Structure 1
């Protein structure tokens, strides 16, 4: 009985020593908190680079989508303007016919017809104005972006508008129809004046050649004397 108690006590003592030894080991082991191994650093850097790439791709997609929306809106607006332009061009043709008829009626003595056409012409002008249609000004020099010069007339300042043959119109900054105009060709030279001018130019050119040749001879003579 005493042997068993002794054996039990020895076992308890060994267990106590092992526990004490284990605790001491735990206390003496260096703390690894706050330290990152080399592999962990590489993984973290790779994850950060991948995240940056995702952010870059998202920004690029957002910019592309924004450009796509703007392009679609622009195409819709252009399609709307083109459809509107077709209708307005038909109204302009009708307006031209009214103006032509009105100019003929003014020469007649039919006051009632003249008044009726005048009212219709004004009403049509109001309709065009409601669509922001405005007439192109035809003053001064012809603008190739707004005026279609289909005829030249002698005299005047070259390129200046002489007469409006058909009115032109714009919708905002959109050219609906260019104005057809005639322009001055400038002062025409008479045949005699043109011949005299050409003769003077020819004489001046010949004189310059002679002077150049004489200068060259003098320079060569000086070189030979040396």
Structure 2
């Protein structure tokens, strides 16, 4: 009986020993793999992300430089154009001023030339007045009036018509009177003649209007 017990103990002990050996062998057959380093992959990702950013920055700089150069070229072109326009306008202004001065001078010269005969007639009238020649004096005054009127008409002066109805645009009514046979609102007498040059009224005619 004791031998069986010992054998049983040995058998059990022997089995446990083999089990331990099997477990040990299995552990040796399947060694654990080392854990990957966590710092290498993020670093690789960062490098992959940094490379395109460098290329984009370089491309943006080149594009900005090209756009800046183009803007400077256009600026120079516009500046040159503005300077040419300013120079042309300045030359035109000087030419226009010279032309205006020439026209004014020519107009004055022509007016003086037209008034010289009037001055001559006025001198002859004064000589007749000094000699007490009344008939010659009257004729001389009429001659001066005709000469002066002719000179002014050449400059475009036209007498305003006063025969007919009153026109407030060209007439100035100084009095309103009742006249036999005259319709109300018509001009019955001219106190001072009026004149115009073209469409501009130089002086309205001063008249008396029938009421």
TM-score by length of 1: 0.38
Question: Which has the higher Rg, Structure 1 or Structure 2?
Answer: 2
Q: TM-score, normalised by structure 2?
A: 0.40
